Copies of this chain bind each other. A is one copy, B any other.
Amino acid sequence: MPAPPEYCPVSMGAEIVAERWNLLIIRELLTGARRFNDIHRGLPGLSRTLLSQRLRTLRGHGLISAAADPTDGYQLTDAGRDLSTVLEALGSWSVRWRFPEPDGAQLNPHLLMWRMRGGLAHDRLPPRRVVIEFTFTDDAGDRPERVWLIADGEDSSVCTRDPLFDIDVFATASSRVWHEIWYGRRSVRESISGGTVRLSGEKHLVAGFVDWFGLSPFAGQVAGRPT
């Protein structure tokens, strides 16, 4: 913001919030990202150069700080963490007024997998490496897109290329269906039992699958959720 803001609480806050990407960077940190490249992955369209700049100005505003161990990246300060109140108000507002069902171009399976990775319940996963292959069947024309999710203890990652590990669970559904699930518009359990999501693999892993994933923080508020 070029000119210093008016002495008014809303203007003071707008100085942070009205700068592109700032809120989204905070969101990434609030949802668990710490390292530069992880933050960057969650923000398609943001260049590394600009992310670097923004992190600096956010540090200048006292919203984030470099972690003690530099390889741990960044962490939110108390002030930064408290921005969650604003994020919640904003997300809730959007859900009420500008969150219609996505059109096809808005579906981004890779990014969605990255969000779902963030919501993994590591403590409910088996205490060993688990590899899941997701096949997205959105468009019959293209060859179906595939993404691999690898969870191992506290670590997890998402790959676009075959990691060449043994696959524990194969999951097949449209990207749209996964979006509906993530945003609480559709129940995972019913989607599996109804065959909309098809799973295969070792029996007890397939049985556990449904408990591994969380939902979007706004899932409870999105219109069109299952009856």
**Copies per assembly:** 2
Query: What interface size band does chain A fall in?
Result: 35 or more
A99 to B15, CA, bound (A): 12
Residues B3 and A14 in contact, CB atoms below 8 Å apart: no
In the complex, identify which listed stretch (A18-26, A65-73, A142-150) lies at the interface while the others stay far away.
A18-26
Mostly, the A contact residues are helix
In the complex, identify which listed stretch (A84-92, A117-125, A132-140, A159-167) lies at the interface while the others stay far away.
A84-92
Residues B24 and A99 in contact, CB atoms below 8 Å apart: no
Query: Among the listed B1, B6, B14, B95, which residue makes an inter-chain contact with A90, where contact means beta carbons less than 8 Å apart?
Result: B14
Q: Which of A51-106 contact B (CB under 8 A)?
A: 61-62, 79, 82-83, 85-99, 102, 105-106
A/B interface sample: 7 pairs, CB < 8 A? A7-B106, A10-B27, A10-B91, A13-B91, A14-B90, A17-B23, A79-B96
**What 4 A-B pairs come out closest when comparing CB atoms?**
A89-B89, A9-B91, A13-B90, A13-B94
Q: A residues near B, CB below 8 A?
A: 1, 3-4, 6-14, 17-24, 27, 44-45, 61-62, 79, 82-83, 85-99, 102, 105-108, 111, 115, 179, 216, 218, 222
